[in-house]
Each structure stands twice: as C-alpha cells, then as structure tokens.
Chain A
Amino acid sequence: MADHHYLDNEEKSVIIVMTSGPSTPHRCATPFYIGAILASMEADVSIFFTMEAVKLAQKGIAENLAAMDGGKTIIEFIRDAKAAGVKLYLCKPAMPGYQLSESDIIDEVDEIANASKMADLILACDKSMFF
C-alpha cells in the first residue's frame, strides 16, 4: 500500500490570506478548496479576506461568480470550506474602499476583524499562504 494514501500529519495551524476577488474569478475557488482539504486533515485553518477579496464576502457576489464557466459557484466553495471547519475573517479596514458595510456581508463570515488580527494569525501560525 502506497504510503501517501495514509494520513498521519500532526495538527498545524494555517492562515490563507485571500486577496483575489471578482476581477480574477479563476483565482477565487482553489484557496477555499485547499482550505477545506487542510481543515479535513485537522489543520486549524483561517482564511482572511483582504484587499479585493473582501468583495467575495459581499452578499450577491460569490453567489454569482464561478472560477470556470458553468462551474460551481464561489459561495459553494466557501460553504464547503466552512463545513470542513475553516474560519473566515474579513478585513475591516478594507471595507470602506469597496463601499461595504456590515449589513452587506454574507453570513458565512465568522468575524469582521482589524488588520492586527491578521498579523496575529500570521505570527502565530505554522504555515501561511497568499492567494
């Protein structure tokens, strides 16, 4: 039996900093997919939406966006990641630049947080990834 079929990793913490948004839809599904895999491997995974990615957290955007024509919507990838245990943070300082208010935000977001929260997550985690 090939060893790669077995999972025996230690628990780790991972932050995925998501900066891509609706202008590059092909970049918007994979980070959530990877987050879901990591979480299902028992990593403590946080995805932090900042820069243009905050638009993905606006109601009505991810529901109507897909990485591939006719493919699964980004909101479905976000929900899969949530179901696997990923925590979602939204960058509060980025919101005004995209005319976002708290009432515009999808329910899937766990916390609207300051940039210092992202800094804390980066400094405390085992691995960080940027998309």
Chain B
Amino acid sequence: MECNGCEFRPELYYDDQYQIWARREEDGSLTVGMTDISQTVAGKILHVRVRRPGTLRPVGKPVATIESGKWAGPVPNVFDCEIEEANHDVLDDPNLLNIEPYEAWIARVRPSGSVEEALSCMVTGDIAQAGYCERTRREDIHCERGAR
C-alpha cells in the first residue's frame, strides 16, 4: 500500500516520525531499516556507517549515520539494544536504501529487554498507516525510488 507514492508495509513497526522500521525475527532479534519517506527525504545515499557489532545502544543513541549529497544525519534508535550485525550489502552499496528501502535493512539488533517491550514504543498496522500517510500529506512528501 502507498501514500503519495510512499510504500507502507503494515506488518512492520515504525517510530512516531516514520523514519525507521523494525521487523521481528524468529530468534528474538529485530531488523532495522529506513522507511521510504526517509530515503526520499535524504536523496541519493552515498555513505552509511553502522555502530560496531557488540555496541550497546541506549534510547536516542543512533544505530547508524547516513550521508547523502544534501542530507546528513542519524538513523535513530527508540529502544535499548545491542548491535548484532550490519548489512554488508548496504554498507558496500548504500544506494540500495533508495532502491528497496524495505529489503535493504541496515542493522540487526538485540533488544536489552523483551521484544514486546522494545516494540511497545513503536506503531504498526492501521495506526501506523494513518500516521505514515498523515506525515506524507502534512509535509507534501512524494516518494521516489532510486534507480541504477
């Protein structure tokens, strides 16, 4: 489903600004990435750096930094966790974030508490869709996917 051309996936969890998504994994970890809104706002992404695996990330401490030609900033973090793995494909080819933001995950993290506790500060499903679409309308964001 889409809002203003911005893809939304109802099975994922989102922060309240719809900058990042998180997906539950069977082993109790969470996979984190950028939303279609975020990759569009950033523009063509040139460089990604992820905190080294094993690093603890409290709430508010970024998982990664992103650089594009016109934007630089953090990939925010909304729950206590430890970095387990970075997506080497994305580190080697950051443009994947523009091309397929929901496939090109950035990091896998292990919540310090339970997965439910970590996800309790995020939104999903219909509530997330409403908020996601509202942001695209409020800020007049029309998503564009990068191309090779």
Instruction: Name A residues whose Cβ lies closer than 8 Å to a Cβ of B.
Output: 1-2, 4-8, 33-34, 36-37, 39-42, 71-72, 80, 83-85
Contact B61 A42 (CB under 8 A): yes
We find that the number of chain B residues with CB closer than 8 angstroms to chain A is 20
Whether A42 lies near B62 (C-beta < 8 A) is yes
With A6-B51, A6-B52, A8-B55 as contacts: A37 and B72 at CB distance below 8 Å: yes
Nearest CB in chain A: distance from B137 CB, A: 20
Using Cβ atoms and an 8 Å threshold, which residues of chain A touch B64?
A: 7
B120 at the interface (CB under 8 A from A): no
Contacts A5-B48, A41-B65 known; A71 to B86 CB distance under 8 Å?
no
Q: Which residues of B contact A40 (CB under 8 A)?
A: 62, 65-66, 72-74
A84 to B86 alpha-carbon distance, docked (Å): 21
Q: Which 9 A-B pairs have the closest CB atoms?
A: A40-B74, A5-B91, A36-B72, A40-B65, A6-B52, A8-B52, A37-B72, A84-B73, A7-B49
Number of A-B contacts (CB under 8 A): 55
Residues of chain A within 8 A (CB-CB) of B50 are 5-7
Nearest neighbor of A4 in chain B, beta-carbon distance: B49
B51 close to A8 (CB less than 8 A): yes
Q: How many angstroms between the C-alpha atoms of A41 and B61 in the bound complex?
A: 9
Q: Does B70 contact A (CB under 8 A)?
A: yes
User: Which residues of B24-46 are within 8 A (CB) of A?
Assistant: none
Given A6-B49, A37-B67; A80-B72 close (CB under 8 Å): yes
B15 → A minimal CB distance (Å): 13
Closest beta carbon of chain A to B34's beta carbon, Å: 13
Contacts of A84 in B (CB 8 A): 72-74
Q: Closest approach, in angstroms, between the C-beta of B96 and any C-beta of chain A?
A: 14
Contact indicator A5/B86 (Cβ below 8 Å): yes
CA–CA, A109 to B55, complex, Å?
A: 33
Which residues of the other chain, B, contact A8 by a CB distance below 8 angstroms? 51-52, 55
CA distance A7 to B61 in the complex (A): 12
Is B142 among interface residues, defined by CB-CB distance under 8 A? no
Q: How many Å from the CB of B86 to the closest CB on chain A?
A: 7
